Structure 1
Amino acid sequence: MRRKQKEFADLVGVNPRQIPRWKRRGETIELELDNQAALDTLLTQAPPDVQQRFAALMAERASTQHDERAEELLRRDPSTRRHAIDGKVMALVGEGIYLAGPDNRSVWLEPFLMDVYPTTNEDYAKFVLATNHRPPQHWPDGHCPVTLATHPVVWVTWQDAIAYACWAGKALPTARQWEKAARGQRGRIYPWGNEPTAAKANTAESGIDATTPVSRYQSGASPFGIFDMCGNVWEWCSTEEAPGSGRYHLKGSAFTSPFERAAPSLLNAANASMKDNDTGFRCAMPT
């Protein structure tokens, strides 16, 4: 934001002496949730040029070094692992009952692994290179834009998502798997809890009007540590709306959606051939 230390501290709502402490600790820092939420809100409300600078810096870092937060997650949490083919970090969602749908009915699911982050443009580029699959239409000359490397891939059909999942040796999650990974076992309304906090997700209220890096909304993670289960992009599921309909469930809402559509229990579906600038996916697999 190119602000002086005191100006920035006032915007975040912390003591100015806190800012140099944060800078010194760098990637090792683990912020309190209220501080992280304040930073998320500040970034959400920032002017477009600030948001673009932030996105470019995140993409530049991702293209030159490992995702240190992901590496730390793997070291610290034995329920996470890195997939052998696409290299994505996956989180374990344990077996058992969870509360499903708007009426919170009890549903049993076997254990499964879910991608911590949606499939990014960078992830999808590996798939395109390996299989010669057609690239998304928003890639200039068919090449992944550096500034969007850590953003979720969009302009992908259900068939495109299935092709990626098959290449990676995974599957698209069922609608029930997706909802459990988002809400946890106790029926949270949102991944972070029951409070409708729009600043924890990239929905229409943010005013960004574009995708954001998949690791940005840290205070909006689900109980299993899974990101972007509200907002950013709609995500394809493997569950068909009705047998033979050719329409498949979409979950999570997007940057184009009002926050009222963000609850993971809500239903949405589209034709398998549909593609748009706010639709992507992530993968799951059995344990």
Structure 2
Amino acid sequence: MTESKPPKVFISYAWEEDTKNWTREFAARLRSDGVDTILDQWHVIPGDSLPEFMEKSVSESDFVLVICTPAYKRKSESEHPSGVVYEKGVITGELFVKRNQRKFIPILQKGKWGNAAPSWILAKTYIDLSDDPYSKNNYMDLLRTLYSEREFAPPLGSKPDFSKPATKQKKRIKPVFVKKNSHHLKKTNIFVETIKTNVQKTVFGIVLIGFASLVVFGLPSLFSQTESAPEPTKTAEIIPSKITLDQPSETFTPLVPSKTSVPTRTPTNTTVPTLTPTKTSTPTPTPLPDAFSDIDPAGNPVSMRLVPEGEFIMGSNADDALAECKKNRDDQYCDINWFTNEEPPHIVDIDSFYIDQYEVTNTLYKACVEASVCKAPNEIASYTRPNYYWEPQFNNYPVINVDWFQAKAYCEWRGADLPSEAQWEKAARGTDARIYPWGDGISCGKVNYDGCAGDTKAVDSYESGKSPYGIYNMSGNVWEWVDDWYSAYPGNTTIDSRYGIDKVKRGGSFGIVGDYSLSSFRLSFFPDHDGSNTGFRCARDVTP
């Protein structure tokens, strides 16, 4: 007998660091239990189209598990475009057009149901896996559902034959079994015979008395009564019990993958300048620029550095970036398509501007929240610290778990803005096309990357890793939002479905391998993405 095909499942979730890890472990457990589980962390590679992946995965899967968290609800119901919003469109389209309700199973992973479930899934029954560790019984209930092994109603019998008169069934008396012991059996028989004799005498007496009463009192009345219709038997009114559904009181107030969507390399016919960055172990130091102390509306000083006007080389040759990648990991884990969006290297001439010397800290961001201008970070925990945002020892650490909109709101509150891609890259690499802010070679002594520290560090860490303009952590620590929409550089003819939809992050983070920390590396993300590895800094024009 051929073995049945395993159920195929796609998981939709919001991209948060803790939810991402939980979902990966959950998906691995499902696969170990024979469920063919599709997860973006395993099945999306650079160059793939995320919209196409989402649509295909939802359409071809037997089930879609929706991991419900407060962040999933918030992003799903947001007006801003995101991966969760796109997945919501795909899912609700199939829900309301194909009416295939049972294909979509909500999983409560964090919080209360009313706070974690989007309005379009709120009325569905769900599997509760919010405990830590989650309930084994609930998990098995999910598996039984996926394998169609749930307990079903018993088979339906045939219709009774109503033409035949109903026969009165004799009441069956459950037999009493007596232990086969001669002593007990003898006593039992004597007891039974005694009862039998007494019963017979009693019955004979009752019958005799009843007959005498009938003769004396009953016969005359029987002949004197007239026949009357029997009084109808009153039947008790059946009132259905009221069923109260335990629905959440809250009302309405797709899985953003953290993988970078990188286009497949397409030959560029446009002639572009061949500019090979100078790679020297001892780069020529740039004179320290002027400093500027900005003051936010709450009175907090913010150190900024001047980046002078002029030309610099922006972007890189993908072949050079690939060669740098191979210095940090095995060749098989490096793909030239990761770097084609940096092409071609081109000359950009920009005006002078100021940029924050350090990433925006928890303390500075709190001032904007307290002024009721900024929204608090979407999570207070860092990768390893549960109360990171509030603990005083991390006041001088970068604020994290903020999306592009939150970063933009803070900078505008200060009278500044997010830096453009060009501003950010010039501030990171200077005018001599440095591979990293300090020059060549990468190590834990210069940058917080690839697990060197395992989490964020103070914003004034790594003195030896400063950029030519004295700016800290332009590589590593946290990814930094920039102002631009994701688009192709002039002369790059590659088509990418993420153009005009994503925003851009720069600089790498504490958990990222060195090739992502290159000064020219570009990472595209939906603007409402946040995470424990994402922060920002601000820039402003030079005051006349």
Deviations 1:10-34 (A, max 9, x none): xxxxxxxxxxxxxxxxxxxxxxxxx
Give, in whole Å, the separation in 1 of the partners of 2:455 and 2:442: 21
- The residue identity in structure 1 corresponding to 2:347 is S
What does residue range 1-287 of structure 1 map to in structure 2 within 5 Å?
A: 79-85=290-296, 86-103=300-317, 104-131=345-372, 133-136=374-377, 137-138=379-380, 144-206=390-452, 208-242=453-487, 245-287=500-542
Q: Distance in 2 between matches of 1:132 and 1:145?
A: 22
What CA distance in whole angstroms lies between the structure 2 residues aligned with 1:211 and 1:238? 23
Point out the structure with the larger helix share. Answer: 1
Change (3 A) 1:142 1:209: closer
Paired residues of 1:115 and 1:226 also in contact (CA < 8 A): yes
State the distance in 2 between where 1:179 and 1:259 align: 17
The separation in 1 between residues aligned to 2:406 and 2:431, in whole angstroms, is: 30
Q: CA distance change for structure 1 residues 255 and 164 in 2, over 3 Å: closer, same or farther?
A: same
Per-residue Cα deviation, 1:194-225 (whole angstroms, up to 9, x for no partner): 2233421000141x211000111110000000
Higher relative contact order (CA 8 A, sep 6+): 1
Report the AA paired with residue 292 of structure 2: R
Partner amino acid, structure 2, of 1:98 = F
Cα distance in 1 for partners of 2:402, 2:391 equals 16
SS at match of 1:131: coil
C-alpha distance in 1 between matches for 2:435 and 2:517: 9
Say whether the 8 Å CA contact 1:91–1:225 is kept in structure 2.
Answer: yes
1:31 alignment partner in structure 2: none
Cα offset, 1:78, TM superposition: 6.8
Q: Is the 8 A contact 1:204 1:258 kept in 2?
A: yes
| Aligned-residue offset at 1:131 | 2.0
2:540 match: secondary structure: strand
In 2, the alpha carbon distance for the partners of 1:193 and 1:238 equals 25
Q: Is 2:354–2:540's contact at 8 Å kept on the other side of the alignment? A: yes
TM norm structure 1:
0.69
Secondary structure of 1:98's counterpart equals: strand
C-alpha contact 2:380 2:389 (8 A) present in aligned 1 = no
Q: 1:87, CA displacement in angstroms?
A: 1.7
Q: How far, CA to CA, are the matches of 1:143 and 1:228 in structure 2?
A: 19
User: Separation in 2 of the partners of 1:205 and 1:143?
Assistant: 21
Cα distance in 1 between the residues matched to 2:307 and 2:395 = 27
Query: Amino acid of the residue matched to residue 225 of structure 1?
Result: G
Cα distance in 2 for partners of 1:211, 1:143 equals 12
- Over the matched positions of the two proteins, sequence identity in percent amounts to 33
CA contact (8 A) 1:235 1:250 kept: yes
Q: Is the 8 A contact 2:289 2:305 kept in 1?
A: no
Alpha-carbon distance change, 250 to 142 in structure 1, aligned in 2, over 3 angstroms: closer
- The higher radius of gyration belongs to 2
Following TM superposition, by how much is the alpha carbon of 1:124 offset from its aligned partner in structure 2, in angstroms?
A: 0.5
Gaps of 5+ in 2: 1-287, 318-344, 488-497
**Contact 2:293/2:304, CA 8 A, preserved across alignment:** yes
Cα drift, residue 132 of structure 1: 5.2
Native 8 Å contact 1:191 1:229 kept in 2: yes
The alignment's C-alpha RMSD in Å is: 2.0
Question: Once the two structures are superposed, what CA deviation does each residue of 1:95-122 show, in whole Å capped at 9, x if it has no partner?
Answer: 0011111144221111100000000111
Amino acid across the alignment from 2:407: A
Q: Tell me how far 1:143 sits from its aligned partner.
A: 6.2
SS of corresponding position for 2:359 = coil
Look up the match of 2:225: none
* 1:155–1:176 CA distance, 2 compared to 1 (3 A): same
Equivalent position amino acid for 1:226 in 2 = I
Q: Secondary structure at the match of 2:407?
A: helix
